Structure 1
């Protein structure tokens, strides 16, 4: 796990140097993305993403991200439908949620400051909850907004969340010799200050 360290940016002065205490942040869906890569036939990789994300970061540091699994975008409509119904089973499990403690990031709330830190996060997906180790890069922007990004891909194993059967169904329907059951996931999230 990457050890915590802060990198001081170019400007921490002037009007923007004040901390943003007593503030909450809300996820900006338009400027955020959660992506994953599927690998089929042993060597063909394709990138996909989710179009609908919600989330917030409270001033105490509690962070929560919710992913609408029915918003998966693979650029092939029938594949979107099959993935939603057979893999994610959105009728029963419509969303995946990720929660983490980002209090250490909240404490350094000054524009131009970055924090790279290894975090433990709880992922609730397909009725299963697992603890993940995630390396995140948090950046505070001059207007008080934040970006939270994965510094390295997060590997999600199908067996950990009981979705192996769904992958097998997709493989059969598509007539593929294989679909990888370990999936790298990356994210870049923009959090905007809530109006007081």
Structure 2
């Protein structure tokens, strides 16, 4: 009987430690990209090189994007976006928070994906805005979880006080227009700790 109780205690400990696991974002296997549109119909894809993130034991997820790591493929354009648009010395990060929930992670079978509409919040340029983020959550293995966008999340520069920065970029590049609306996509890979 004692052995049986010990076995049950061990299994409960294992289950609870699995349930309470935290997941760290793997920067090398993750990507946040966005598309800028200029001259009405010229689209260019960009991304950020430095991401940090965690899914806590309660299912709360947070991803921090270093705005100084913006990568447009052109050094001078990177510098202009950092300084004129993001003002990355004053506002170094964009932070996204949402709650994935532990139940969803627990019930996913290996290789299985689940569609999830996340209720999230974006902090950018000193402002905060609630967002709906349509995602797929995939349990790649017992130690790897992927969260990917189903469709682009549209971020509007005006919602975060970035419209003046957009105008500055437009002026310095002698462009007739740059869209304030920016589609953002992501692939986020999390590795379970422990």
The two structures have a TM-score, normalised by structure 2, of: 0.88
Residues 22-54 of structure 1, C-alpha deviation per residue, up to 9 Å, x if partnerless? 211000000000000000000100000000000
Provide the residue aligned with 1:167 in structure 2.
Answer: 166
The CA deviation at 1:115 is 1.1
Question: Whole-Å Cα distance in 1 between the matches of residues 85 and 182 of structure 2?
Answer: 13
Structure whose alpha-carbon radius of gyration is higher: 2
Runs of 4+ more than 4 Å apart = none
Task: Give distance in 1, aligned partners of 2:119 and 2:141.
Answer: 27
1:39-50 equivalent positions in 2, closer than 5 A: 39-50=37-48
After TM superposition, the structure 1 = structure 2 runs for residues 21-36 of structure 1, keeping only pairs within 5 Å, are 21-36=19-34
Aligned to 1:56: 54
Name which structure has the greater RCO, CA cutoff 8 Å, separation 6+. Answer: 1
Q: Is the 8 A contact 1:60 1:106 kept in 2?
A: no
1:93 aligns with 2:95: no
Cα distance, 1:148–1:193 mapped onto 2, change above 3 Å = same
Deviations 1:9-31 (A, max 9, x none): xxxxxxxxx97422110000000
8 A contact 2:108–2:114 mirrored in 1:
no
Shift of 1:143: 3.5
Instruction: Find out whether 1:112 has 2:111 as its counterpart.
Output: yes
The C-alpha deviation readout for 1:84-125, integer Å capped at 9, x for no partner, is 000000111000000001005324243222110111101000
1:127 aligns with 2:126: yes
- Stretches of structure 1 that go unaligned for 5 or more consecutive residues are 1-17
CA contact (8 A) 1:59 1:106 kept: no
In the TM superposition, what is the alpha-carbon distance from 1:151 to its structure 2 partner? 0.5
Aligned residues: 178
Q: RMSD of aligned C-alpha atoms?
A: 1.3
1:186 aligns with 2:185: yes
Cα distance in 2, alignment partners of residues 187 and 172 from structure 1: 29
Q: Quote the residue 2:152 is aligned against.
A: 153
Decide which structure has greater helix share.
2
Q: Quick one: distance in 2 between partners of 1:172 and 1:138?
A: 41
Work out which of the residue numbers 73, 76, 100 in structure 2 matches 1:75.
73
